[in-house]
């Protein structure tokens, strides 16, 4: 398996033999390391907070908190973690429920080393695709932001006050720490075009931002 970094694995299963066998299998796969082992869903939640694994190998039927409930809670504070469900039975309802929360890998016990490695590879591949998509989205957002800033500065120089200028300045004033010239120009446009309702909302926004800044 070709990965850019060593992936950190958390194993959660209430059967000691399964935990031991799964850990042994993981130890034979390059670029994987077990960072935590839980015997129930509650432990899995707590250990995920503490150890921040990349991938969860989670049994469905466990005491205290079942696997799917644990994953739901984990995804609230660790949305990028990869998940692989393991179960002793083929349960279509559980599989559909797992799919509904974004889980695509489901291993039936006893699973083989090849099955485990394939599942990890697929999860790692999807994680890498998600990271790349996030990077591309962030780059696009930054590019759009720079283009808007250039337009805003150009519109100030040219004293442009049409609907297009309003749209640009309205987007600019939503950026944290925006240039006050954009705020002032938008306010002037609202006054000149008698957009009193929008002017009132802009003033309220300015007051909220000032209050938030002073309290932080």
Give the model confidence (pLDDT) of 186-214 as tens digits: 999 999 999 999 999 999 988 888 777 77
Q: Which domains does the chain have, with CATH numbers?
A: 7-134 (3.40.50.2300), 159-215 (no CATH)
CA distance 180 to 3: 46
- Strand ranges (E), 18-145: 32-38, 55-59, 82-87, 105-108
Confidence label for 95 from pLDDT (cuts 50, 70 and 90): confident
Whether the bond into 145 is cis, omega within 30 of 0: no
Is pLDDT of 21 > 70?
Answer: yes
pTM attached to this predicted model: 0.66
Is pLDDT of 140 > 80?
Answer: yes
Largest CA distance in the chain: 76
What torsion, rounded to 10 degrees, do the Cα atoms 43, 70, 53, 118 define?
120
Collapsing DSSP to helix, strand or coil, 4 comes out as coil
Give the model confidence (pLDDT) of 58-70 as tens digits: 999 999 999 999 9
Is pLDDT of 1 > 50?
Answer: no
């Amino acid at each position: 398996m070709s990965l850019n970094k060593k992936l950190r694995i958390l194993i959660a299963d209430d059967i000691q033999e399964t935990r031991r066998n799964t850990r042994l299998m993981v130890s034979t796969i390059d670029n994987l390391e077990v960072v935590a082992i839980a015997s129930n869903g509650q432990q899995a939640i707590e250990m995920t907070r503490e150890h921040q694994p990349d991938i969860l190998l989670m049994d469905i039927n466990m005491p205290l908190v079942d696997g799917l409930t644990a994953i739901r809670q984990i995804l609230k504070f660790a949305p990028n973690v990869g998940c692989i469900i393991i179960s002793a039975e083929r349960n279509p309802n559980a599989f559909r429920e797992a799919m509904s929360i974004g889980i695509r890998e489901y291993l039936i016990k006893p699973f083989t080393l090849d099955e485990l490695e394939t599942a990890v590879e697929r999860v790692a591949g999807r994680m890498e695709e998600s990271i790349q998509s996030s990077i591309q989205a962030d780059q696009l957002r930054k590019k759009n932001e720079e283009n808007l800033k250039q337009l805003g500065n150009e519109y100030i120089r040219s004293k442009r006050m049409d609907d297009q200028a309003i749209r640009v300045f309205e987007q600019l004033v939503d950026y944290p720490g925006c240039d006050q010239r954009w705020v002032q120009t938008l306010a002037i446009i609202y006054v000149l075009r008698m957009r009193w309702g929008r002017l009132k909302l802009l003033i309220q926004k300015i007051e909220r931002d000032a209050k938030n800044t002073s309290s932080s």
